[in-house]
Structure 1
């Protein structure tokens, strides 16, 4: 007989999260979205049921629904065996939904667009404004496509749709990376809908349904360039001075904009030698040794950094700061827009943004022979491959770095 249990999708969430049924049988694992949601504070992980508490008065009915699902999967599995049918995840799901066909707990059938609309609203509680903006933009393009060509639902997301949609996006003169971001977001929507039991069409997981990506012309600032920025006398322009200081904090901590602009006195620990912070995007706790430049800036502001401008405003002011530092060498950029490759030289200061700080940190530490695994502990990269794609090292810099390797001596 198989073994059933219930788990929470996000056990550490502060808001309601989905409950999944996990059924293990014959060395296989079946996962099913119950359609039920609960705040983890009301969940008993031992009993795998809602706690008996006055704060959640409907716990008897809620647990009864989970009991029904558990009985349903056990009955479905037993009936398949009794009928001489070898259980697999597909026929097990069908048999379970027959058991639950009275619709007491069966997830409500949603259209793709209704699901996306609800998912975006739900995501506002636990995802960044930037992510919500990406979701909304992708949703807008999907609605435009459906209006111009034909209605879209879960079963519409096929390889034929993929090829047609790529053409549609390219007509909007979008860069390859922007197109890729929209495809990636659609796949995220479909994955989430599949996990929740709203979708059974898995063609979006075909290897040909791929996210387009081309290497961006992201730049980094070397240690010498950062020293030029640090030495700038910006007292006559408090706004630029503030932007410069915050940017340097990012360059010497590797933190994202959302994190280095939120450093508080309580994040400075170990006798003012380490920053400890939980990153906003991943929830990861990182510890970063304080660089002397960071210590100087923190001392200047008494460990309480000034309130930052918005990311976009900071990017605008930052270009002025880098220009004043004399960092204006021409960089040849290449971008594919609307299917056409466009090359043009751009002054380096115009390519600098708040994210350049994070790239500069990773690249400068890599060139300084800091072990890759130590850098990844701060940047949060999961694989060395993804990390090496992230850093910016020119062919000459790579050759200079190899000159000190024993193989070349």
Structure 2
């Protein structure tokens, strides 16, 4: 027997989440976005309707709209059977939208840019500040392109748009290939969200050629010997550099991101100071990390209560100063594709070091030490070996030296 029910997209969300209609029929399952959203605290999962509470005064109208959607799917299904037509998901979607349109329930068509603007405001409540900053930058470029060339809407986000827009970012704004790729990735996430909500029907953005551009970055790592040079520096006369050096070394020997290794508290350390347990901010994953002797020494220095960190930007400035004092000055050639052209430059290594170098150094040094990739990934949180290997920074010579000890070459 066919059955309709309503479920929330994210039942544990602290903010509004979409309501889906699920219709099970003839061993098939039809999922449809109602375009309605509600805070889960006002949702009754048993009745599959909004709670009748003064805290959500619009519950009568909200529940009435869900009632009409449920009646619509039942009417559509029954009509198809009566007409001798075998129901399928494509037919059900088409027919229910016609039915809802007749009842004036179909939402007013929204433009792509207005959707993005409202989605950014909504996301500010539950996404990280860095993510919102990326969203706003992408939105700024989209508005500029739309006013300068052609109004962007859901239906014209095509491969033609992709080719013209990536050229606009690369040639007019001289953005690097990776930055262009980041903006394309963000547009795809906007489109996915709009599609999930039933606002967008154009799926050309999911084609292979609508790809996120990525260029392997010339990033550096610090060897164990170089980290020892950091550790040996006498910086007590310059507290700001002393603090930055210590926190950076924590990152180099734990593999944590800046947002995580700067938030370590005494309760994250076990009683015998051998293990660190922490839930990462970006992925909310709980990781367990054995404490390296350098980390134990630094924690002891601060009685397990690490000093408050400077901002990432300020830390990066001071970090280059520390690296210069540690004599990390070998010349490194880097390349970057900007405006469609490959640019090469040579810089002393200390100028290329940032807080993220810590995480790359951790992964690379453990890999060189023959620790299995899967064990390192348990700490770094990488889901695939491919994404993990992008963190590893060893030269062809280092790779060959590593292989020399393998039984195959003996």
TM range (shorter): over 0.9
Q: What's the Cα RMSD here? A: 2.1
Partners of 2:64 and 2:399 in 1: how far apart?
A: 63
**Aligned equivalent of 1:79:** 79
Q: Give the ranges of 4+ consecutive aligned residues of structure 1 lying more than 6 Å apart after TM superposition.
A: none
**Aligned equivalent of 2:194:** 193
User: In the TM superposition, what is the alpha-carbon distance from 1:73 to its structure 2 partner?
Assistant: 2.3
1:369 pairs with 2:353? no
For residues 77-120 of structure 1, the C-alpha deviation after alignment (integer angstroms, 9 at most, x for no partner) is: 33233334443433322211223226675444211111010111
For residues 52-82 of structure 1, the C-alpha deviation after alignment (integer angstroms, 9 at most, x for no partner) is: 6665555555444333323322332332333
User: In the TM superposition, what is the alpha-carbon distance from 1:163 to its structure 2 partner?
Assistant: 0.9
The SS at the match of 1:101 is helix
Partners of 1:73 and 1:188 in 2: how far apart?
A: 29
Q: Which structure 2 residues correspond to residues 154-303 of structure 1 after superposition, within 5 A?
A: 154-171=154-171, 172-303=173-304
1:69 pairs with 2:76? no
Question: Are the counterparts in 2 of residues 107 and 197 from structure 1 also a CA contact under 8 Å?
Answer: no
* Count of matched residue pairs: 409
Which TM-score applies when normalising by structure 2?
A: 0.93
Partners of 1:166 and 1:395 in 2: how far apart?
A: 33
For residues 130-188 of structure 1, the C-alpha deviation after alignment (integer angstroms, 9 at most, x for no partner) is: 11111111111111111111211111101111111121112221111111111111111
The SS at the match of 1:381 is coil
User: In the TM superposition, what is the alpha-carbon distance from 1:29 to its structure 2 partner?
Assistant: 4.2
User: In the TM superposition, what is the alpha-carbon distance from 1:288 to its structure 2 partner?
Assistant: 1.5
Change (3 A) 1:365 1:55: same
The SS at the match of 1:208 is coil
For residues 319-357 of structure 1, the C-alpha deviation after alignment (integer angstroms, 9 at most, x for no partner) is: 111111111111111111101111122211111111111
Partners of 2:407 and 2:49 in 1: how far apart?
A: 60
User: In the TM superposition, what is the alpha-carbon distance from 1:220 to its structure 2 partner?
Assistant: 1.0
Partners of 1:407 and 1:67 in 2: how far apart?
A: 69
Question: Which is worse superposed, 74-83 or 189-198?
Answer: 74-83
For residues 15-52 of structure 1, the C-alpha deviation after alignment (integer angstroms, 9 at most, x for no partner) is: 22222223344555433222222223343445544456
Question: Are the counterparts in 2 of residues 35 and 105 from structure 1 also a CA contact under 8 Å?
Answer: no
Partners of 2:26 and 2:227 in 1: how far apart?
A: 60
Q: Which runs of 5+ in 2 are unaligned?
A: none
